[in-house]
A and B are shown apart, each in its own frame.
Chain A
């Protein structure tokens, strides 16, 4: 990981920020017939200054990639953004990122460009993905003017789709983690949360394979069906 960043920084040395042509950034991939057992998907978690996408900001990005059915620790993303101007008093207690860490963070544009390149347009999974999606899309648009939509999937939908009978206490990430006995190394650390989300994704993908859900497209359809089923129950 460090090696990767180092290489990347070396490559970018001399390229001033802003010279990056957004057209050269990877194009998001759509739900394809690519096999889940081969595909690369991103599992991402953001830490923000608050819950309101309209006024709060992203301060940390953690993500791991699942490829070929495994999490490769070489292939991960763990950055705190340099946003000293942000007011983080409200959330500092939750995620533990203090003003000092923020000033030492990476330049936002740099980090976001790096993220886009690293994600390579692959589908993104997150727990309660709507939240992360709104924040990330807002930030990408604001900072880079990047508006291409990635394919997002919600792990909070994925889990009940494959484990409908799991007796959970609640619907949170912690509930699923507890159910499978997963340990979160540091809760509310973007990268640690991303890893535990990715572990849940591995469990779901294992089950998917056995239920003949084989491609990325199969998976999105399964989630779509799940959503319809849920809304039917609601009425």
Chain B
């Protein structure tokens, strides 16, 4: 029977509802038979303005609703202010409550009619039928939930914005700011020389101090302008005669807010920051206070890359952290941010290596390898070293002789990296470990043992050594090594299966009832975002990437590559990327908060600290991790 004929035999009202549905996504891309199934199983209900449509007290959600006319608003109780607030609005043609329906749980939001409203709805049975039979519908139901991710990202941004924006950042003590090294001079220096010093240092002000470094005056470009305009004193005048005496000063414990107020009050662009004894320790400028977010990536990278001393590199680490804040605030997604952190870390590692080569070059060409999260370009602020060396054995030397030269050098580099904030690896996965400072042949043999004679124990290392990248030195040797490693893995189905089994060891922290499963009794109410949240993605993706000969180590790039190879459906790939990025974003935000509070960085969070939307989305992200693991189970019949 032709479609048109079939349509004509449908009752008028069924047809009418079908054509209403056709005007709205996802129905617009659904087949007529599925639309008819929807229309024939629909019920139409009316809700007067303010009527409750769905409530958390109604129990597990059993219906899928579409607004036919009018609007629905989501209402949550704001405990702080003891009033109801609208969290979202759903208008004509839109559907609800997706997350609760898919999560098979009660809604967390009261859904109320805003104005007189008609809703079409179908029961769970019809919903399941459509969900399983109609691809566009299924995609929408899954994607509809993940589209909430955008909201969460916005929230993360606004939070980060607040932490560097007007209110929060100004609560920070001045000592947390990177204070400018003040340009100083003695009171008797002629103005001409003082100006020359300002010019040399490209600054707009100079502080005049006494013998004990107490600031006695300040001379700025504005003072110079006055001086020239009034034409009263010569440039040979001692600066103490033309300086502004008694410059504004604040102790380093003072808040940025006080500094800002003082500047605003007196129209100063600069303030002296002094220690408890009143000695000058730095300058803070208006720009420092209000334009913290203008930390420039290129400039920062250049500064790191050309630093001449280790201590400069150490001091630049705080700029990296500030940059992360700024990037999150400016809407960079977590994938971009981790890559930038990795880039800056790479620059730091290279610079440490270069500075050490300048001092004592071991004289052996080598490639500096990084493994694990750094290898995947997925580093956050909390990072430890996982590195190694791949060297070419010069003719006439044994590998052990090469090691004798390289290991002390590597030791020094590892130690200096630790000073820069890259914690020493507890498992001694570092280039200074003789077992990880190997020639090409040795590495190849190492991987043969690793892959062909794998034991459950050494599979633990798969998350480190199978995600490798060259940071310094020639890239070619690593490329060759990777090629043979990938070939070997692709041929070895057993190894793949073992890897897959290993990847399933870490389950996303959800209970059967889709609640969060906490770590253990000791860490009640805390989730390990890295091990429980990210690892299931990273490890599952790794197995599939290696099995398909993908050389990239970055998880998001691997997902893309798998989608290109049709191993993943494009929509699944996106959902997984989003879920993974979201967990990463929540983890990074937690890191920034810990840093603000001066706490040690950990990967633990208490989901109760998250707002309800974040919690909901985090749960959905974990659910996506479960789906991914299920795919792995099916692929490897585990």
Contacts and interface: CB of A to CB of B under 8 A. Distances in A.
B44 A74 contact: no
A74 B41 contact: yes
A214 B355 CA distance: 87
Contacts of A62: 12-13
> How many of chain B's residues touch chain A, expressed as a range?
20 to 34
Contacts of B595: none
Contact of A1 (B19, B40, B48): B40
Contacts of A70: 43-45
Contacts of A181: 69, 116
B535 to A, nearest CB: 47
A2 B44 contact: no
Nearest to B113: A206
B124 to A, nearest CB: 15
A73 B14 contact: yes
Nearest to B17: A73
A207 B50 CA distance: 13
Given A74-B41, A185-B19, A1 B69 contact: no
Contacts of B39: 73
Given A181-B69, A206-B47, A73 B42 contact: yes
A19 B11 CA distance: 28
Contacts of A195: 13, 16
B9 interface: yes
Nearest to A210: B48
Contacts of A183: 69
A218 interface: no
A62 B14 CA distance: 12
Given A73-B41, A186-B12, A189-B12, A203 B46 contact: yes
Contacts of A203: 46, 48, 116
Contacts of B14: 1, 73, 76
Contacts of B17: 73
B51 interface: yes
A74 B14 CA distance: 9
A191 B46 CA distance: 19
Nearest to B46: A202
Contacts of B16: 185-186, 192, 195
Q: Is chain B's interface secondary structure helix, strand, loop, or mixed overall?
A: mixed
Contacts of A69: 45
Q: Is chain A's interface secondary structure helix, strand, loop, or mixed overall?
A: mixed
A74 B12 contact: no
A191 B12 contact: yes
Given A71-B44, A73-B40, A78 B118 contact: no
A72 interface: yes
Given A189-B12, A191-B11, A182 B43 contact: no
A220 B290 CA distance: 72
Nearest to A79: B11
A125 interface: no
A134 B429 CA distance: 93
Interface string A196-207: 000100110111
A64 interface: yes
A72 B43 contact: yes
Nearest to A191: B12
Interface in A1-24: 1-2
Contacts of A64: 13
B10 A73 contact: no
A180 interface: yes
Contact of B13 (A182, A185, A202, A206): A185
Contacts of B12: 62, 78, 185-186, 189, 191-192
Nearest to A189: B12
A65 B315 CA distance: 76
Interface in B7-58: 9-17, 19, 39-48, 51
A42 to B, nearest CB: 14
A189 B15 CA distance: 12
A182 B16 CA distance: 13
B51 A206 contact: yes
Interface in A53-79: 62, 64, 69-74, 76, 78
Interface in A191-229: 191-192, 194-195, 199, 202-203, 205-207, 210
Interface in B153-197: none
Interface in B111-132: 116, 118
Contacts of B48: 203, 206-207, 210
B118 A2 contact: no
A70 B120 CA distance: 10
A186 B12 CA distance: 8
Nearest to A184: B16
A73 B51 CA distance: 23
Nearest to A205: B46
A2 B44 CA distance: 19
Contacts of B116: 180-181, 203
A183 B118 CA distance: 12
**Residue of B11, B40, B48 ringed by the most chain A CB atoms within 10 A:** B11
Interface in A103-161: none
A144 B491 CA distance: 80
Contacts of B47: 206
A189 B14 CA distance: 13
A210 B47 CA distance: 12
Nearest to A3: B40
Given A182-B69, A192-B13, A199-B118, A71 B19 contact: no
25 contacts: A2-B9, A62-B13, A70-B45, A73-B14, A73-B39, A73-B42, A73-B43, A76-B11, A76-B13, A78-B12, A78-B13, A185-B13, A185-B16, A186-B16, A189-B12, A191-B13, A192-B12, A192-B13, A194-B13, A195-B13, A195-B16, A199-B46, A202-B118, A205-B46, A210-B48
Given A76-B11, A180-B116, 18 more contacts: A71-B43, A72-B43, A73-B14, A73-B39, A73-B40, A74-B41, A76-B13, A76-B14, A78-B12, A186-B12, A191-B12, A192-B12, A192-B13, A194-B13, A195-B13, A203-B46, A203-B48, A203-B116
Top 7 nearest A-B pairs (CB, nearest first) are A185-B16, A78-B11, A202-B46, A71-B44, A191-B12, A70-B43, A70-B45
